[in-house]
Amino acid sequence: MARTVLVTGAGRGLGRELAWQYATGGWQVIACGRSRPVHGTETGIEFQPLEVADPASISALAARLTGRPLDVLVNNAGVRSPLSGLDRLQPEEFLDVLRINTLGPLLLTRALRANLRLGSSPVVANIGSRAGSMAEGLLDDDDDDYAYRCSKAALNMATVQLARDLQPDGITLLSLHPGWVKTDMGGAEAVLPVEESAKALRSIIAAAKPEYSGAFLAFDGRSVSW
Ligand SMILES: NC(=O)c1ccc[n+]([C@@H]2O[C@H](COP(=O)([O-])OP(=O)(O)OC[C@H]3O[C@@H](n4cnc5c(N)ncnc54)[C@H](OP(=O)(O)O)[C@@H]3O)[C@@H](O)[C@H]2O)c1
């Protein structure tokens, strides 16, 4: 039987590519997005509306998916701040980024826990960022987007706590850094084609084992320091 993956933020960028690659590989794909793709979804890809910042939207999705096994959940949807920099930081904008990048993945994972329990060797992949690493994030990156960095650091903690809480269900959690990827977010100067990043992330997810649950890995398989 085909395995099933759910990808958030699947309308463009990395999420779209992941959905496409999984579908091409024979998976059943549930592609979630804020709006239905203008040209419809590719063959074999099911669209489900989801606004990850809205707990009601998450609950409604979970209700529609009741009883359906889920093998992989990719919490991919993410945003940066409209304006970065300490002086331009706005409290509501900061919290909006955390709602999308941190709270959304946490609530969605909890909401779909029963579906993951029905899956085989289930994996939750939280798409994080090296920008959220306290040890590595500032090494060669002068980004000053406080909300983005904090949201991804907090997502790492959510990954670790979820790894412990979902261990009895056999659900493996990963935080994954996709590299600097050529998408709307990564920009044209990014070094990694989206196809390569998605392919690498799929390999890591496929190789995930319960004993590594809670790990923070980069697209090239390297362990990223917290
Ligand atoms: N690109 C990079 O270099 C890079 C590096 C490190 C980490 N990442 C992470 O990789 C993930 C994917 O990034 P990307 O480069 O593909 O970004 P992107 O091109 O900007 O795409 C972001 C996706 O997230 C969706 N999204 C944003 N807010 C949402 C919300 N409230 N509810 C539902 N969907 C929402 C967007 O949907 P709409 O079309 O509706 O806006 C879009 O599909 C993100 O978590 C990002 O932080 C990216």
pLDDT digits (tens, 9 = 90+) for 119-135: 999 999 999 999 999 99
Does residue 22 lie within any of the structural domains? yes
Domain that holds residue 58: 4-218
pLDDT band at 37 (very low <50, low <70, confident <90, very high): confident
Does residue 140 lie within any of the structural domains? yes
pLDDT digits (tens, 9 = 90+) for 205-220: 999 999 999 999 999 9
Domain with 62 in it: what CATH number? 3.40.50.720
Task: Give the Cβ contact number of residue 209 at 10 Å.
Answer: 10
Does residue 224 lie within any of the structural domains? no
Does residue 36 lie within any of the structural domains? yes
Q: Which atom of ligand 1 is closest in space to residue 35's alpha carbon?
A: 40
Runs of H (alpha helix) within 25-145: 55-64, 91-98, 104-111, 113-117
Does residue 110 lie within any of the structural domains? yes
The answer to whether the CB of 100 is under 6 A from ligand 1 is yes
Pairing of strands 215-218, 172-177: parallel
The answer to whether the CB of 194 is under 6 A from ligand 1 is no
pLDDT digits (tens, 9 = 90+) for 76-93: 999 999 999 999 999 999
Does residue 223 lie within any of the structural domains? no
pTM summary value: 0.97
Tell me, in angstroms, the distance from the centre of ligand 1 to residue 120's CA: 27
Does residue 225 lie within any of the structural domains? no
Count structural domains, the chain. 1
Does residue 59 lie within any of the structural domains? yes
Closest CA to 195 of 21, 78, 43: 21
- What end-to-end distance do the CA atoms of the chain give, in Å? 37
Euclidean distance between CA atoms 52 and 8, whole angstroms: 8
Closest CA to 52 of 62, 44, 37: 62
Average pLDDT, the chain: 96
